[in-house]
Amino acid sequence: MKIISWNTNARSNKEILKNQCEFLDYSNFDVITLQEITEKSQIFFKEHFKDYHLVSSFDLSKDLNLLKRKRKYGEIIISKQSFEILNPYRIDIPFQERVLSIKFLNGLEIYTTHVPPGSSNGVIKVKHFEGLFRHLIKDTQTPKILTGDFNSPKEEFLSGEVVTWGQKINKDGKVRLSVNPKWKDDCTAERWDAAERGIIEKHSELGMKDAFRVINGYEDNSCSWFLNRKDVQLGRRYDHVFCSNELEPIRCLYDHNPRLDGLSDHSPIIAEIS
């Protein structure tokens, strides 16, 4: 199975949307998972991929009036195979539209998520990680692929050590627990750190593995999201593909060309999984 996960950066320009679709079409994926879809942009993807099987978070919402401002983003899953849509409200998280999941006839489940960024959502990010972990650990036997933009980790070292947004790296390079002062009354650094680690680092407890690290190890310091600050480009590896242990990653990489072409501020992650 060839799968791509891509945060589309909520683009609304028709020419950019057209180019995003053409890139996805040309690459001939079996499964496409997209994040940061808006109520308007979903219409464009639905039309372009009308001959595929497709579901959008907006299709499943109980109240579209809630999906505004901080909750204006959803996900889309596109597949060549037919699938069963799984109920997003079975997962106890603040923004249920931020997890979209399906199930194929062979039993394989596909999940995609866009974890709300902590800088603007605070403890909602923590509750999202905690709720998704609680859901996934209920059933570690069903084969799953989990994709998306997790807005984590802050950093990864060659040793495999992960730094979360519940931590801070001092000038001397030492890592300590620390939470944004803006949210200190809502969440401790310990809780924030543990929530992000639940999936980013401790996915083995869910019977899953990080496809990119299985293939590339920690020597590869690729990033998927980039921010330009003055003359410095800051990169984070926010976009991930995790898969159940019985599934075998064959290839996993970030394709930077769509980002460099201005189609998004994220590079899509592409994986081939047996």
pLDDT score, position 232: 77
Contact 122, 187 (CB under 8 A): yes
Per-residue confidence band for 224, with pLDDT thresholds at 50, 70 and 90: very high
Residue 238 near residue 151 (C-beta atoms within 8 A): yes
Mean pLDDT, range 2-22, rounded to an integer = 97
Q: At what angle do helices 14-27 and 41-48 cross, to 10 degrees?
A: 40
Residue 78 has pLDDT above 80, yes or no: yes
| Half-sphere CA count of 16, side-chain side, radius 13 A | 15
Judge residue 170's burial from the number of C-beta atoms within 10 Å of its C-beta, 0-12 exposed, 13-18 middle, 19 or more buried: exposed
Query: Alpha-carbon distance 213 to 225, whole Å?
Result: 17
The sign of the dihedral angle between the CA atoms of 68, 39, 92, 182 is negative
Instruction: Enumerate the domain spans of the chain.
Output: 2-151+202-273
* Cα–chain center distance at 102: 15
Q: H or E stretch including 133? A: helix 123-137
- What are the φ/ψ torsions at residue 5 (nearest 5 degrees)? -125, 130
114-142 residue pLDDT tens: 999 999 999 999 999 999 999 999 999 99
C-alpha to C-alpha distance for 38 and 59, rounded to whole angstroms: 12
- List, in order, residues 6 or more apart from 101 with CB less than 8 Å away: 77, 85, 86, 88, 109, 110, 111, 112
Check whether the bond before 249 is cis (ω within 30° of 0).
no
> In angstroms, rounded to a whole number, what is the distance separating the alpha carbons of residues 104 and 106?
5
Q: Class assignment of domain 2-151+202-273?
A: alpha beta
pLDDT digits (tens, 9 = 90+) for 232-262: 788 999 999 999 999 999 999 999 999 999 9
Are 3 and 145 within 8 A, CB to CB?
yes
* Band of residue 230 on the pLDDT scale cut at 50, 70, 90: confident
Q: Hey, what are 70's tokens?
A: 């901080």
